[in-house]
């Protein structure tokens, strides 16, 4: 065993490293959904005055507390999320270190050094995915696809990540885990599409709507609901139907007409418009029929990332536990009369929580459950 002072030293290092990484994760959480580079500018900046924060005002955890959550330049309020992400990352890095150190053989815990790195990377990916999904209801491909690739490469380099000794076996089991995760949620999405593939909105009073293009994306607002156009076209063949009282397409007005919209085209009678060439559409509707999914494809790619790091058994456990978390939250919000709260929580955070539960206690929980439910042998 390591001397107690060494244990304290390594644990402190893990927490401090996590807090510093958390500072960078805050940059990713803020910039990635906006399409901004996480490298330029290299220093963090105030979201209010855009002042680039000097190094002495960018100390993880301490700076936020000393400045009382305000920008030193303009006094703009800095969200508690920045402090929370740094603290959460530090605590997760510390928890990972304690977990892998406990797995180490007597003497110098070389295995801890090996497994801490991939699990720290995985935890960082989970934090970025969770906070972006909470705020924007998306998980960027840089996290899901990039995380899957990272998981496979790390499993090849560190086969003990999947309980293997050969590099090739580690990489292959990572691919199996990624494929199992992707395939399982892909099936859920397609079955959900068959069962709950449409959502019809009807209005007693005409509801105003607008469609505003911005580059390759568009903002779609109907009444009080604001949506992204791309949210409805995961496969590319979905359609939106609207019963319009009137509609104006780049200044050309039409009365009392049904409208059919595909991802790239708007159809009105025998005429059609290529949406990439349209700047703005507005009007009033009586009814809108929207395509909908059981969950987003970002979640499908996210579970592939989880499988690449943790394997196919973790995929099964994660999906089941994430579904259980969602059900518990749903029942709880109904019980307190706030059902709308549960509809505003995306599935990605549940998946991340389920995967972390597997990492820290999953196999033990499975053995405990099987011991309770299965009769003793012999």
What is the pLDDT at residue 77?
87
pLDDT digits (tens, 9 = 90+) for 172-200: 999 999 999 999 988 887 776 666 667 78
Per-residue pLDDT of 83-96, as tens digits, reads: 999 999 999 999 99
Give 193-230 pLDDT, tens digit per residue.
666 667 788 888 899 999 998 877 888 999 888 888 87
Specify the pLDDT at position 210.
Answer: 94
DSSP 72: T
What pLDDT is recorded for position 344?
63
pLDDT value at 145 more than 90: yes
What confidence score (pLDDT) does residue 105 get? 39
**12 falls in which pLDDT band (50, 70, 90)?**
very high
User: How many CA atoms lie less than 13 Å away from 134 in the CB half-sphere?
Assistant: 13
CB 325 within 8 A of CB 350: yes
Confidence of residue 3 (pLDDT cuts 50, 70, 90): low
> What H or E segment, with its residue span, contains residue 255?
strand 252-261
pLDDT tens, residue by residue, 315-361: 999 999 998 998 888 788 878 876 656 556 788 999 999 999 999 99
Range 129-136 average pLDDT = 91
| Segment 286-313 mean pLDDT | 88
Q: How far apart are CA 263 and CA 234, in angstroms?
A: 9
User: What is the sign, positive or negative, of the torsion defined by CA atoms of 24, 304, 314, 186?
Assistant: positive
Burial of 54 (C-beta count, 10 Å sphere; 0-12/13-18/19+):
exposed
Nearest to 58, CA basis, from 88, 22, 93: 22
Rounded distance between C-alpha atoms, residue 270 and residue 257, angstroms: 12
Residue 1 has pLDDT above 70, yes or no: no
Amino acid 78: pLDDT:
84
User: Per residue in 210-222, is it b (16+ CB within 10 Å) or e — as a string?
Assistant: ebebeeeebebeb
Domain coordinates of the chain in residue numbers? 1-117+128-136, 198-291
pLDDT band at 108 (very low <50, low <70, confident <90, very high): very low
Reading the block at residue 145, the tokens are 């696809």
Mean pLDDT score across all residues of the chain: 86
0.85 surpassed by pTM: no
> Which pLDDT belongs to residue 295?
66
Reference 307, options 121, 185, 180; nearest CA is 180
What tens digit of pLDDT does each residue of 55-78 get?
777 788 998 888 888 887 787 788
Q: Give the dihedral sign, CA 327/333/336/339.
A: negative
pLDDT at 109: 45
Half-sphere exposure of 49 (CA within 13 A, CB side): 12
Give Cβ neighbours of residue 55 (< 8 Å, ≥ 6 apart). Answer: 43
CB 308 within 8 A of CB 147: yes
């Amino acid at each position: 065993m390591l001397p107690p002072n060494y244990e304290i030293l390594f644990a402190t290092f893990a927490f401090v490293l996590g807090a510093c990484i958390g500072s960078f994760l805050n940059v990713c959480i803020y910039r990635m959904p906006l399409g901004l580079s996480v490298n330029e500018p290299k220093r963090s900046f105030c979201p209010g005055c855009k002042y680039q924060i000097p190094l002495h005002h960018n100390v993880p955890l301490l700076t936020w507390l000393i400045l009382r959550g305000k920008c030193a330049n303009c006094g703009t309020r800095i969200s508690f999320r920045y402090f929370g992400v740094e603290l959460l990352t530090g605590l997760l890095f510390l928890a990972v270190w304690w977990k892998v150190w406990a797995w180490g053989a007597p003497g110098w815990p070389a295995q801890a050094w090996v497994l801490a790195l991939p699990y720290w990377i995985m935890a960082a990916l989970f934090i970025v995915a969770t906070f972006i999904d909470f705020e924007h209801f998306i998980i960027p491909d840089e996290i899901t696809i990039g995380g899957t690739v990272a998981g496979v490469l790390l499993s090849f380099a560190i086969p003990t990540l999947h309980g293997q000794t050969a590099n090739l076996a580690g990489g292959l089991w990572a691919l199996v885990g990624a494929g199992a995760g992707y395939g399982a949620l892909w099936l859920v999405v397609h079955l959900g599409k068959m069962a709950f593939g449409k959502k019809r909105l009807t209005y007693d009073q005409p509801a105003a709507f607008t469609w505003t293009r911005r580059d390759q994306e568009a903002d779609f607002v109907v009444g009080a609901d604001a949506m992204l156009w791309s949210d409805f076209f995961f496969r590319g063949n979905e359609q939106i139907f609207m019963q319009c009282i009137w509609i104006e397409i780049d200044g050309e007005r039409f009365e009392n007409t049904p409208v059919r919209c595909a991802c790239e085209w708007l159809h009105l009678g025998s005429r059609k418009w290529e949406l990439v060439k349209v700047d703005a559409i507005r009007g009033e509707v009586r009814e809108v029929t929207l395509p909908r999914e059981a969950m987003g494809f970002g979640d499908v790619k996210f579970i592939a990332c989880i499988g690449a790091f943790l394997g196919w058994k973790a995929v099964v456990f994660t999906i089941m536990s994430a579904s259980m978390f969602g059900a518990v939250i749903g029942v709880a919000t109904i019980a307190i009369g706030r059902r709308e709260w549960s509809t505003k929580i995306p599935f990605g955070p549940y998946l991340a929580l389920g995967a972390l539960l597997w990492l820290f206690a999953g196999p033990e929980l499975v053995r405990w459950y099987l011991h309770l439910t299965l009769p003793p042998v012999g």
